[in-house]
Structure 1
Amino acid sequence: MSYSAVDEYEESKFLRKAKENPFVPIGMAGFFGIVAYRLLKLKQRGNMKMSVHLIHMRVAAQGFVVGAMTLGVVYSMYKDFVLKPAEAQKALEQKAVEKK
């Protein structure tokens, strides 16, 4: 197997996983965005200690990731427990109409 085939496999695997769980890439993007923003604001922190600034950055980034994960779980539960039963009920009703 060549390196290009391995890269293509890994890329398609990532894209497939991202489509299955869209909140993971959103959480990753938010994490890196918050870290980049806070690192740019590092010089403008005033008299705040470096450790406090870094702690605030970590908490903000973690909070975004946890929020994205929570939304992902809620969305997944909605799909599994609300949409799928409704589709199954609709399919049963359609079968009943076809039998008549």
Structure 2
Amino acid sequence: MSADTASWSSGSENQASKLVEKSKKSPFVPIGMTGFAAIVGYGLYKLRTRGDTKMSVHLIHTRVAAQACVVGAMTLGVLYTMYKEYVVKPSETNLSK
């Protein structure tokens, strides 16, 4: 039984280290995840004081805002990667010649 517990704990450490490694490679992934969680949390908080707005409209607005945050983070990540690949990398190769 203790062997099962050890395998679970090593698996969670492994996933945490994978998340840290992945966030070092592309730093905008955790930013998008955090923004998504913040917008959903804010939407749930504002659910109480939505006034005359229908529940479906409020949920649609929250969903669109969360998706915009994630898509924005992905776009920034792609632009950052393209900058590193096509602007910084050629400059480094020209300096070494």
1:14 aligns with 2:1: no
Question: Separation in 2 of the partners of 1:52 and 1:11?
Answer: 37
**How far has the Cα of 1:5 moved from its partner?**
2.2
Choose the corresponding residue for 1:32, options 28, 37, 57.
37
Equivalent pairs, count? 92
Q: Which residue of 2 aligns with 1:42?
A: 47
- Where do 1:67-78 residues align within 5 Å? 67-78=72-83
Q: TM-score scaled by structure 2?
A: 0.90
4+ aligned runs moved over 2 Å, structure 1 = 1-5
Matched residues, percent identical? Answer: 59
Q: 1:11, CA displacement in angstroms?
A: 1.1
- The answer for unaligned runs of 5 or more in structure 1 is 93-100
Normalising by the residue count of structure 1, what TM-score does the alignment of the two structures yield?
0.88
Structure 2 match to 1:98: none
Q: Mark the runs of 5 or more structure 2 residues left unpaired by the alignment.
A: 1-5
Deviation at 1:13, TM superposition (A): 0.9
- SS of equivalent to 1:67: helix
**Aligned counterparts of 2:13 and 2:86: Cα–Cα separation in 1:** 35
Flag the structure with larger Rg.
Answer: 1
1:66 has 2:74 as partner: no
